Amino acid sequence: MDRARGAERDYVNTRHQILCVWSGVLCPIVMFTGLWPMAGFFPPHHPTASAADIAAIYQQGTSGIRLGMIFIMLAGALNVPFVAAIAAQMLRIESGRTPVLSMTQLGAGAAGALLFIIPALIWTAAAFRPDRPADITLALNDIGWISFVMPFTLAVVQNCAIGLAIVSDRNAQPVFPRWLGFFNFWVVLLFLPGGLLTFFKTGPFAWNGLLAFWVPATVFGAWYFVMAAFVIKAARQQAA
Amino acid sequence: MSLWRLVRARTSVVWLLLVAATALSWKLSHGLGLAEPRDAGCAVLVVAFIKVRLVIMDFMEIRGAPLAMRLAGETWVLLMAAALIALYLGALQ
Amino acid sequence: MRPISSALDTTARGVPLPDRPPRHLPGEAGIWLFICGDLLVFSLFFVTFLYYRGQELALFRAARLHLDQGLGALNTLFMLSSSWFVASGVRAVRGGAARMAPYCFALAWACGCGFGVVKFFEYRAKIRAGITLNTNDFYMYYYMFTGIHFMHVLIGMGVLAFLTRYTWRGACDARKIRNIESGASFWHVVDLLWIVLFALLYLIP
């Protein structure tokens, strides 16, 4: 009997699942550490800052920026196991059906990991030769911030997939509470204003604005912790 | 349930009130009786939130919802109306 | 011995009061989480708008005059009427007249279409006059907030189309009614948000 249960537990692989979830808990923490104490990129640079100002930032904080970017790249990678852990539980929701939503989530979430890594690489390039012409540094900085704050589309697809899966859970014992699906839909809503930062250099919709940056960033961080708690709960329930 | 019974309901009265309130706020915005723009603006905001409260209580049925939700609804309407009127008046200083 | 009844259940003479309908929240808990979250976000929008308006009062006041209040009012009527249709649809489903419900939701959807058509003409007229997202701060808020609201309208119209099909078959059990109520509640929020936007953007002098 114990052997059978042990085999069951091995099949469920709770330990690895929880490991993957912890990777997701670390992701926003590592990202924030890289962004702020190290690179000093928090609060975000002002879109109307002059080329000279931006160049000065890279010249004065070079080492911190270089190190911080490595952390952000790490955060991007830490995203992937977390996305997989969510997908694993979504597969339970979709068991018996073709698991399109789980695959959508996995695809969108994995692609999303690049959205941390690419800006970090670009900012790294900017910090690689801080004494280059200021306009070039400004352009690289722009590309970095735009690719960091703007791409909301993948997150929309990812969270909609999660939300849709949760609210259409037909299992006798649902994997996640139904309200968590609506929580994911709400998070999608909060990401939307960020997508229009391309039109603005000041105000709440600019890349350093209240509605395009601060609100989505806060919600983004909170989403990791909320989802982590429920994925761990679901994984434990799976093994029980 | 006949068509008439469907129409003869609280929700229909609420709709009429909402339309009337819309007409009223339109008039207020064009200066009905209230010379000062600040008074007109406040009146418009008050009427707007009366409309909002009607939608919440009668269309969304919070009037008959558990008391915690009802309290939350009434509180939000009050707080929002107060905050927006305060900001509106604050701007006119 | 007579059981002790609660003071609320009987009059002073011990005559039982008629049963009060139990308190009921329409729809499921999750949709209310979403609705409250949505209202929170828009509350932030409204406060942000009035705050920045205070910083550039003359600009905002002048810019408002280019808005077509008539179209705004027409849109308000579309929204209010669509909500009435939705509320009637829910009542139909609960009152055993489920066959009327699809028509109610379809009419609500039509009102949504009317709203969309008006918005199309409104935006087009503005853009032709050279007024865009970047013209000034007032119009930034105008386009962004009415735009995000319009996205809600589009999603809501999807929900209404779904409800029309969902109630086509007739009889609805408790679970179905709850789902219909959830969709209806979302649509009422769309109406509610427009009421405030109309006041803030179009009306306040």
Mean pLDDT of all residues in A46-61 = 95
Provide the pLDDT confidence category of residue C6 given band limits of 50, 70 and 90: very low
Whether C16 shows a pLDDT value over 50: the answer reads yes
Q: Is A210 within 8 Å of C29 when comparing Cβ atoms?
A: no
Q: List the structure tokens of B43.
A: 């009146």
**Nearest-CA distance from C151 to chain B in Å?**
20
Measured CA to CA, the distance from residue A38 to residue C178 in angstroms comes to 51
Question: Do chains A and B touch by CB distance (3+ pairs < 8 Å)?
Answer: no
- Determine how many CB atoms are found less than 10 A away from the CB of residue A194: 22
Mean pLDDT of all residues in C101-110 = 96
**Nearest-CA distance from A145 to chain C in Å?**
20
- Could you tell me which residues are beta bridge partners of residue C16? C10
Please state, rounded to an integer, the average pLDDT across all residues of chain A: 93
Q: What is the pLDDT of residue B6?
A: 83
Whether C17 shows a pLDDT value over 90: the answer reads no
Whether A178 shows a pLDDT value over 70: the answer reads yes
Give C179's DSSP letter.
H
3-state secondary structure (DSSP) of residue C70: helix
Region of residue C14 (phi > 0: left; psi between -120 and 50: alpha; otherwise: beta): left
Q: List the structure tokens of A235.
A: 């994984």
* Residues of the domain holding A225: 2-239
Give, for all 93 residues of chain B, the pLDDT tens digit.
Answer: 678 888 888 999 999 999 999 999 999 988 777 778 888 999 999 999 999 999 999 999 999 999 999 999 999 999 999 999 999 999 876
Nearest to C79, CA basis, from B19, B53, A10, B10: B19
Give A46's DSSP letter.
P
Mean pLDDT of all residues in A111-118 = 94
pTM value is 0.90
Q: What is the pLDDT of residue C7?
A: 46
Q: What is the pLDDT of residue A98?
A: 95
Please state, rounded to an integer, the average pLDDT across all residues of chain C: 90
Spatial neighbors of A46 by CB under 8 A, at least 6 apart, are A208
Q: Is C91 within 8 Å of B65 when comparing Cβ atoms?
A: no
Q: List the structure tokens of A129.
A: 């030769």
Nearest to A231, CA basis, from A25, A85, A108: A85
Report in angstroms the alpha-carbon separations of C11 from A5, A21, C1, C4: 61, 59, 19, 13
Question: Do chains A and C touch by CB distance (3+ pairs < 8 Å)?
Answer: yes
Q: In chain B, positions 29-58, which contact chain C (CB-CB < 8 Å)?
A: 29, 31, 37, 40-41, 44-45, 47-49, 51-52, 55-56, 58
Give the residue ranges of DSSP H helices in chain A.
2-12, 14-33, 51-60, 62-93, 100-128, 134-149, 153-167, 178-191, 215-239
3-state secondary structure (DSSP) of residue C162: helix
Measured CA to CA, the distance from residue B10 to residue B16 in angstroms comes to 10
Q: What is the pLDDT of residue C97?
A: 84
Q: Is C48 within 8 Å of A211 when comparing Cβ atoms?
A: yes
Nearest to C103, CA basis, from C117, C93, C113: C93
Measured CA to CA, the distance from residue A100 to residue A118 in angstroms comes to 27
If one counts the domains in chain A, the total is: 1
* Residues of the domain holding B25: 3-91
% residues pLDDT > 70 (chain B):
98
Instruction: Identify the CATH number of the domain defined by range C29-203.
Output: 1.20.120.80
**Nearest-CA distance from A186 to chain C in Å?**
6
Whether B3 contacts chain C with CB within 8 A:
yes
Nearest to C16, CA basis, from C31, C5, C4: C5
Q: Is C44 within 8 Å of A215 when comparing Cβ atoms?
A: yes
C94: closest chain B residue by CA? B1
Mean pLDDT of all residues in A212-226 = 94
**Nearest-CA distance from C64 to chain A in Å?**
19
Spatial neighbors of B9 by CB under 8 A, at least 6 apart, are C88, C91
Whether C116 shows a pLDDT value over 70: the answer reads yes
Mean pLDDT of all residues in A111-122 = 95
